């Protein structure tokens, strides 16, 4: 067992209820993880589910990333905060406030972290849920105070419903990012083909049709804009046909190739029916 160098204590978090995660294999042989059971799915083992590790914080890097005294970097699961200025990133609205809030909240260096199904991100950072000694769930607190955007990525869905509820609180109160002009919902009247839209976005769109491919399913909006879902994530989405002809708010990041803009989604929490 890997103890992150300076981890002192391993405790059983008996008070935590873990959502079941189901595993299946699609027609292309890809592993698919879902929080819903399907006929061909089997319950996935959640090895680190009930364990929290006592660690010591070295510093807050930004609103969603920590560095431990061991040197290990921790990326908080289920959310994204605006960027702070660094050698690699430009300052985004709300980034400084998110980092300040996290610095203030994590006054004690003692934290408890809990892993989910996927342990590392593509940058080699540990993915974790973070708790204070009193049990406060930091990931959820960042969302309910309006300092973060919900970003659920399978298979790390253990606290999905709790995180969704936390964001709903902030959004209904219009606090934090929900009050900032940079994160207000845009319509296609605001859209300019060929322009790069940086950072987390909210777009009001109407799906015209659905195109199904071997690897991806595409929700067609215009000849320049589409929503793309990898087929391995489709078990999470309850009937895409219901979105056709409906006005939606889609949340996430837009990638651009020439004048083509694609919003890639991995979880249905990024689609809001209007």
212 noted as active-site residue: no
Active-site option among 52, 72, 83, 232: 83
β-strands 9-12, 51-62 pairing: antiparallel
36 noted as active-site residue: no
Active-site option among 125, 126, 232, 251: 125
Spell 139-164 as b/e; 16+ CB within 10 A means b: bbbbbbbbbbbbbbbbbbbbbbebbb
How many whole angstroms separate alpha carbon 44 and alpha carbon 21?
6
126 noted as active-site residue: no
Active-site option among 52, 75, 126, 158: 75
φ, ψ of residue 177 in degrees (nearest 5): -60, -25
Please give the positions annotated as active site.
75, 83, 125
């Amino acid at each position: 067992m890997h103890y992150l160098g300076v981890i002192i204590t391993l405790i059983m978090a008996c008070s935590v209820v873990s959502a079941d995660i189901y595993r299946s294999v699609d027609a292309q042989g890809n592993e698919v993880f879902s929080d819903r059971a399907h006929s061909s799915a089997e319950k996935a083992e959640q090895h680190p589910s009930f364990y929290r590790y006592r660690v010591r914080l070295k510093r807050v890097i930004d609103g969603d990333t920590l560095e431990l005294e061991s040197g290990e970097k921790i990326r908080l699961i289920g959310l994204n905060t605006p960027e702070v200025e660094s050698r690699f990133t430009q300052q985004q609205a709300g980034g400084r406030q998110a980092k300040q809030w996290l610095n203030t909240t994590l006054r004690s260096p003692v934290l408890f972290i809990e892993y989910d199904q996927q342990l590392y991100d593509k940058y080699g950072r540990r993915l974790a849920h973070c708790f204070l000694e009193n049990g406060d769930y930091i990931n959820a607190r960042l969302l309910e105070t309006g300092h973060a955007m919900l970003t659920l990525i399978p298979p790390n869905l253990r606290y999905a419903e709790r995180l969704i509820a936390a964001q709903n609180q902030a959004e209904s109160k219009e606090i934090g990012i929900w009050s900032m002009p940079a994160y207000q919902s845009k319509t296609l009247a605001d859209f300019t083909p060929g322009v790069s839209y940086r950072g987390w976005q909210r777009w009001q769109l109407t799906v015209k049709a659905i195109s199904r491919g071997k690897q991806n399913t595409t929700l067609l909006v215009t000849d320049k804009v589409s929503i793309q879902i990898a087929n391995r994530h489709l078990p999470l989405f309850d009937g895409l046909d219901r979105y056709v002809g409906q006005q939606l708010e889609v949340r996430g990041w837009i990638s651009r190739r020439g004048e083509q803009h694609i919003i890639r989604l991995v979880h249905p929490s990024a689609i809001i029916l209007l």
